[in-house]
């Protein structure tokens, strides 16, 4: 490993550590019926055109983390959503979430710039879909800075990062853990293990991916893999809810 590689890795590890440790908004998740949420980041058109029908067949809704700056453009995970796609996503009962306007890498962007991009994304949503609201956020690319977590904690009911694990015990609403389906490399076993672990602990597993395609990018999965995930989640006894609705359910459970 070159010293530059080493420095880069050390910086990423330190970023992940500080991001988990500081500016937390702790919440004790009372164990109950497990919850699984499906989320799509960015989002590529195929998350809707191929992912949407799979969820619809099972009667489930997902959260689409939207960056308006990507709308209508091509990206590494294929063509991104259009306004017509987003209209259809909302009409089908899915949730939208915020992913910043410019798809800002959370760890490399100053908290001020990150928040300005969030505000810009909200303005675009408000202008095109006045009845829609971003209630949750997912951090693009890298773990968020401490100042960014703090700012986002004031704007959203909850925010999601990565970590490849379910949320259990004392969770951090400013950076919930997410499990990226594509990081399994198409192997169903780590996914099955995460779903089983979350179910055993009455946890909240937030699944994430990007494109859904028979030949997915390295950021996406096949329709068969997504279908498998839906089947495993259902068989585990989990309730399948988009992120903001899941939070509503958890908050109601705690109040009751």
Interface positions with Zn ion (CB under 5 A): 41-42, 140
User: How are beta strands 136-138 and 158-163 bridged, if at all?
Assistant: parallel
3-state class (DSSP) for residue 65: strand
Smallest distance from Zn ion to CB 143, Å: 13
In the complex with Zn ion, the residue whose CB is nearer, 115 or 211, is 211
Cβ atoms of residues 240 and 233 within 8 Å:
yes
Categorise residue 83: left if φ over 0, alpha if ψ from -120 to 50, beta otherwise: alpha
In the complex with Zn ion, the residue whose CB is nearer, 36 or 102, is 102
Cβ atoms of residues 231 and 192 within 8 Å:
no
How many whole angstroms separate alpha carbon 221 and alpha carbon 215? 8
In the complex with Zn ion, the residue whose CB is nearer, 65 or 204, is 65
Cβ atoms of residues 55 and 201 within 8 Å:
no
In the complex with Zn ion, the residue whose CB is nearer, 46 or 198, is 46
Smallest distance from Zn ion to CB 140, Å: 4
- Shortest CA distance to 234 belongs to which of 184, 210, 199, 206? 199
What would the two tokens of residue 209 be?
């991916």
Smallest distance from Zn ion to CB 221, Å: 15
Smallest distance from Zn ion to CB 30, Å: 31
In the complex with Zn ion, the residue whose CB is nearer, 34 or 44, is 44
- Shortest CA distance to 251 belongs to which of 169, 162, 134, 157? 157
- Shortest CA distance to 106 belongs to which of 154, 61, 57, 143? 143
In the complex with Zn ion, the residue whose CB is nearer, 75 or 202, is 75
User: How are beta strands 63-66 and 35-42 bridged, if at all?
Assistant: parallel
In the complex with Zn ion, the residue whose CB is nearer, 27 or 114, is 114
Smallest distance from Zn ion to CB 77, Å: 9
Smallest distance from Zn ion to CB 219, Å: 8
**Which run of H or of E encompasses 213?**
none
Smallest distance from Zn ion to CB 67, Å: 7
């Amino acid at each position: 490993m070159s010293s530059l590689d080493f420095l880069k890795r050390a910086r990423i590890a330190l970023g992940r550590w500080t991001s988990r440790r500081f500016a937390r908004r702790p919440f004790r998740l009372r164990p109950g019926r497990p919850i699984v949420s499906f989320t799509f980041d960015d989002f590529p058109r195929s998350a809707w055109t191929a992912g949407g029908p799979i969820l619809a067949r099972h009667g489930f809704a997902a959260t689409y983390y939207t960056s308006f700056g990507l709308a209508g453009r091509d990206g590494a995970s294929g063509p991104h959503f259009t306004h017509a796609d987003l209209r259809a996503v909302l009409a089908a009962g899915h949730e939208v979430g915020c992913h910043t306007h410019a798809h800002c890498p959370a760890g490399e962007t100053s908290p001020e710039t990150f928040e300005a991009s969030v505000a810009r994304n909200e303005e675009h949503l408000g202008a095109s879909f006045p009845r829609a609201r971003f209630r949750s956020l997912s951090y693009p690319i890298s773990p968020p800075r401490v100042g960014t977590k703090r700012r986002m904690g004031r704007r959203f009911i909850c925010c999601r990062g990565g970590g490849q694990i379910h949320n259990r015990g004392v969770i951090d609403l400013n950076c919930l853990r997410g499990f990226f389906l594509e990081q399994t490399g198409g192997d169903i076993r780590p996914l099955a293990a995460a779903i089983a672990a979350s179910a055993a602990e009455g946890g909240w597993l937030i699944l994430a991916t990007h494109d859904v395609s028979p030949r997915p990018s390295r950021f996406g999965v096949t329709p068969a893999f997504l279908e498998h995930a839906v089947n495993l989640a259902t068989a585990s006894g989990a309730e399948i809810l988009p992120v903001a609705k899941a939070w509503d359910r958890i908050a109601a459970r705690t109040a009751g």
